[in-house]
Structure 1
Amino acid sequence: MKKLIAVDVDGTLVNSKGQITAKTREALIAATKAGHEVMIVSGRPTFGIREQALSLGFDKFGGVLSAYNGGQLYDFKEGKILANHPMDYDLAMEILELSKSLDLEIMIPHGDLIYTDKADNFYSQRESGMLNMEVKAIDNIRDSLDFTPNKLLFAQDPDKLDEPCAKIKEKFGNLTEQVKSARFYYEVMPKGLSKGSSIIEACKIFGIDIKDAIVFGDEMNDLSMFEVAGTGVAMGNAVEPIKKLADYVTLSNNEDGIAYYLENFVLNKEEK
């Protein structure tokens, strides 16, 4: 039976050194060769997870990227966008207008660039290094955009982030999805999107029953995947709420937890 195998990135697909181990790579490639759909699921922009896709041979064997927390599905081998859910342009501009009065740095990933209004923005430089994406500073970025963004990313020191973001939540919370994705990051996305929604959408595209979706995750932002998939596999390093919701708790990301589960419950089962 064809499966959708969806893997979170940080704390799941990569180990504590940010690397995909050889054993995990081999297991996921074996799953692809066996006819399953392997999907990387992340809040990162599509371009920002291309290195992981290349490491898993998506360019040779196929594979799907779910980026922007469900905002875009991308067939890596074919170079084709399967689904795209950008923000409403006017709504994005309203949020950016409000942000001008708030002590928040702004980052807007689009294509292979990270747009911001300050060239020396510490957080955009951090994102640039982590995602291997160039930063483009535009002074009036909060006044004018020539594209519709998939998400808006705000940043500030952890002790200064919550108060201004609460104002964004108060005014636009019913019109958008908002999440504190790190101690210093706050993301605003179109209403109704999540990692879980991308699992449902991918299953429909590939004709896979949702009960045949297997998801791997470790943090609370993976919760929506566990709520919709037929099988939720928590990493050994996962937070307790995810472990409690999971159907199975595998080894940690430093112990090839993805490979362990696939070898014991998917790949070896097919060989018998």
Structure 2
Amino acid sequence: MSKVFITDLDHTFLRSDLSISDFTKETWNSFADTHTLGVATARTYKKAEQFLKGLHINAPMILLDGSLIVSEDKKIIDTKIIEQDMADQIIDIGAQHSLYPFVLALKDINLNEAFLYPKQRNDYQHRLLERYIGDDNLEEKANIRAMKDNFKLVYMGDESELINLKNELYKVFGDELKYILAPEAYMDCYFLTLLHKDADKAHGLKKVNEYLNIDFKYYTVFGDNLNDIGMFELAGSSVAVANAHKDVKKMATFVSKHTNDEDAVAKYLRELIL
């Protein structure tokens, strides 16, 4: 029976320098003719496409923490959107704390994305934007506002100030939003991500399952962080890389002895071949 393999990107499939080794590429692509291969990531479609250049993907992609599901032929399968009015309310509340978000939004059905960033940004935001120099979807806004279809709003800052903002937003919106407060993987700060209440990788995996119509027992998922646990609960097999969060390892059916920098996903697949 053909199997389905879905991997997280950052700190699971990608190395810490955001590269993918030739060993991983060759191993992954060797499975493409007989199995179904996909990704589940917090990254945008544009960024995922850049990182996955030269890799075979023949399953729908779970993007932006499950806010966007895109078929292998670049058709939108599903979206979970924060409406413009609500997003603008969020921005106004953040501004009271002198915090201004990145806004990631959909421009059109052709998967053109907008990455809006505020003119009033902190040092963490400045540093993050250095990674995106050259991207054609960046738009600086002197008075940042939301667009019609917003996937997520992302604040960066110190843990304490983002906890205060999260608590204030929860008083206003309650369970109408999803709130993810976590350390930023590549910098010494935190980020607060705000999503549609139903946007997560578990939702995304269910949409992939509807599209493929393959029983979950044939799925293997790979991950490292807490936002991967929902997928672990659904899939027949789940693999935590060696550098995964301890709670992710507890949920996994297999814990790799290899980290993302040691090609953990590819080495697991090679073991299947052997």
1:135/1:158 CA distance change after superposition, 3 Å = farther
The SS at the match of 1:233 is strand
Q: How much is the aligned-residue C-alpha RMSD, in angstroms?
A: 2.2
Residue matched to 2:117: 116
Identity score, percent: 24
Aligned residue identity for 1:177: K
Choose the corresponding residue for 1:261, options 261, 264, 268: 268
After superposition, residues 122-271 of structure 1 pair within 5 angstroms as 122-131=123-132, 133=135, 134-142=137-145, 145-182=146-183, 183-250=189-256, 251-265=258-272, 267-268=273-274
CA 1:189–1:73 in structure 2 vs 1: closer, same or farther (change >3 Å)? same
Say which SS state the counterpart of residue 108 (structure 1) adopts.
strand
TM-aligned CA distance change 1:45 to 1:123, over 3 Å: farther
* Long gaps (5+) in structure 2: 106-111, 184-188
Alignment of 1:31-46 (within 5 A): 31-34=31-34, 36-46=35-45
Distance 2:227 2:48 in 1: 17
Residue 47 of structure 1 aligns with which residue?
46
Q: Output the CA distance in 2 between the equivalents of 1:4 and 1:71.
A: 21
Count residues with an aligned counterpart. Answer: 260
1:127-171 deviations in whole A, cap 9, x for unaligned?
Answer: 4443563531222323xx442101111122344322222211232
- Among candidates 63, 66, 69, match of residue 62 of structure 2: 66
1:85 counterpart residue number: 80
Q: Which amino acid aligns with 2:163?
A: D
Structure 1 stretches lacking a partner, 5+ long: none
Instruction: State the distance in 1 between where 2:61 and 2:131 align.
Output: 17
CA contact (8 A) 1:67 1:73 kept: yes
Flag the structure with higher helix content. Answer: 1
In 2, Cα distance between equivalents of 1:74 and 1:154: 25
1:236 Cα deviation (Å)?
1.5
Q: Relative to structure 1, is the Cα distance of residues 91 and 246 closer, same or farther in structure 2, using a 3 angstrom cutoff? A: same
Q: Deviations over 1:70-89 (max 9, x none)?
A: 0111234x222222221233
| SS of residue in 2 equivalent to 1:164 | helix
Match of 2:193, as an amino acid? E
- The amino acid of 2:65's aligned partner reads N
Counterpart of 1:5 in structure 2 is 5
